[in-house]
Amino acid sequence: MDRLGVYIHIPFCARKCPYCDFYSTRYNKETVSLYVDSLIRNFRAFSLENGKKKIVSVYFGGGTPILLSPSQFDLLLSSLSECFSFSEDIEITTEANPSMSDKNKFSEYRKTGLNRISFGVQSFNETELRSLQRTHTAEGAIRAIENAYSAGFDNISADIMLGIPHQTKESLSSTLETAGDLPLSHISAYMLKIEEETPFNSDEIIKTLPDDDTTAELYLHTIETLEKKGFLQYEISNFAKKGRQSRHNLLYWESADYIGFGAAAHSCYLGSRFAVPSDIASFTQNSIQGKIITDENPCDFSEYAMLRLRLTEGLSLKDAEKRFSFDKETILHRAEKFRKAGLVNVSDDVISLTKNGFLVSNGIISDLVL
Ligand code: SF4
């Protein structure tokens, strides 16, 4: 039986953050209720042809999926399990905003089958949280993580942001130390990216961002600090305690199949990539969600290699040769100059990026495999 990941997009937020360009709209109870019904309708339609797939991971992303009530999660997960077979050790994650920190509510969420929670913490520094216009405080985020843990979530991730306006090595250190002392099993440390169509794309904000050298220093400092705290880097931006890598994200990086439900959800399934239109009204009004093909040949060698090189494990040319035909000697030859510069390791036909290599990963990866 084939394994499959399921992504469910919940495009509702209490309010829009000024740096975010994900598809989401303001929470509205009636619309959310219609949206949940539409998700269930789509699970059923999809399972008629594909019900034999074994689901190894379900991921609720957004938006702010924790705005759904425990009974809505219960309904979604029980409908999904009626339509598909769940693997025994299935990972079921929801993203969460740390402004919700009620322990009893976390217990209710845990009872629905959710077993992993990923908090959008971003920082434990109050000034940085205010500059991002987040609705939670540092103290609230600590309380949310501790309460989720005592309510039975033993697999908790936190997103930390690098390159926040006015961020320094000292302020980041303090955030990382706090994170390392909390009951977290996973940390994603992302660079703030200024997206074109967002209020953050303004001279006023851009002039407050750390410069390139400081940002590089922040990244290397993050890797070093988190390793000391027991979080090992396994991907450019992701760190985990032993055995706690995000199974869902690994499906993406290992080019496995996943199917997305909901407006703006993406899928990679049976050899093509496609997306649902970013339109809640059409999602709730149509009996079956729309499909826009975004890539008809997603699993060629270049894409496989690009995804593998994001992982610290790297790209095994021997494994790749079992699936693709490509010129191995050319790739090893191209890797040599990066090896001499300390940006990649090459050992037994496995190419992997070093910590300094991850800083300039886009350039190296495209030079090696495109
Ligand atoms: S809560 Fe998350 S998804 Fe919603 S606007 Fe903020 S960053 Fe974007």
Q: Quick: pLDDT tens for 62-95.
A: 999 999 999 999 999 999 999 989 999 999 999 9
Of 106-120, 177-191, 266-280, which gets the smallest average pLDDT? 266-280
What would the pLDDT profile of 168-212 be if each residue is shown by its tens digit?
999 999 999 999 999 999 999 999 999 999 999 999 999 999 999
Q: Is the CB of 100 under 6 A from ligand 1?
A: no
Report CA(135)–ligand 1 centroid distance (Å): 10
Q: Is the CB of 120 under 6 A from ligand 1?
A: yes
Instruction: Name the burial class of residue 346, with classes exposed (0-12), middle (13-18) and buried (19+) by CB atoms within 10 angstroms of its CB.
Output: middle
Instruction: Name the burial class of residue 262, with classes exposed (0-12), middle (13-18) and buried (19+) by CB atoms within 10 angstroms of its CB.
Output: buried
Report CA(305)–ligand 1 centroid distance (Å): 31
Is residue 80 within 8 A of residue 113, CB to CB? The reply is: no
Report CA(301)–ligand 1 centroid distance (Å): 34
Radius of gyration of the CA atoms of the chain, in A: 21
| Strand arrangement of the beta sheet that strand 266-269 belongs to | 232-235, 238-240, 186-191, 156-162, 116-122, 85-96, 54-62, 3-10, 258-261, 266-269, 272-275, 292-295
Which residue out of 16, 27, 123 has the highest number of ligand 1 atoms within 8 Å of its CB and is therefore the one to mutate?
16
Q: Is the CB of 62 under 6 A from ligand 1?
A: yes
pLDDT of residue 296: 75
Q: Which residue has better confidence, 258 or 3?
A: 258
Report CA(63)–ligand 1 centroid distance (Å): 5
Residues of the chain with CATH 1.10.10.920: 301-369
Atom of ligand 1 nearest to the CA of 63: 3
Instruction: Using the predicted structure, report yes or no on whether residue 301 has a pLDDT greater than 60.
Output: yes
State the fold for domain 301-369. Answer: Arc Repressor Mutant, subunit A (1.10.10)
Atom of ligand 1 nearest to the CA of 16: 5
pLDDT-derived band at 271, boundaries 50, 70, 90? confident
Residues of the chain with CATH 3.20.20.70: 3-253
Instruction: Using the predicted structure, report yes or no on whether residue 1 has a pLDDT greater than 60.
Output: no
Instruction: Using the predicted structure, report yes or no on whether residue 341 has a pLDDT greater than 70.
Output: yes
Looking at the chain, the whole-number percentage of residues with pLDDT higher than 70 is 98
pLDDT of residue 48: 73
CA distance 160 to 187: 7
Q: Whose CA is nearest to atom 6 of ligand 1?
A: 17
The angle at the Cα of 284, spanning 281 to 288, to the nearest 5 degrees, equals: 120
Mean pLDDT of 132-146: 96
Mean pLDDT of 27-37: 96
pLDDT of residue 51: 63
Report CA(16)–ligand 1 centroid distance (Å): 6
Q: Which residue has better confidence, 253 or 38?
A: 38
State the fold for domain 3-253. Answer: TIM Barrel (3.20.20)
Which residue out of 15, 64, 278 has the highest number of ligand 1 atoms within 8 Å of its CB and is therefore the one to mutate?
64
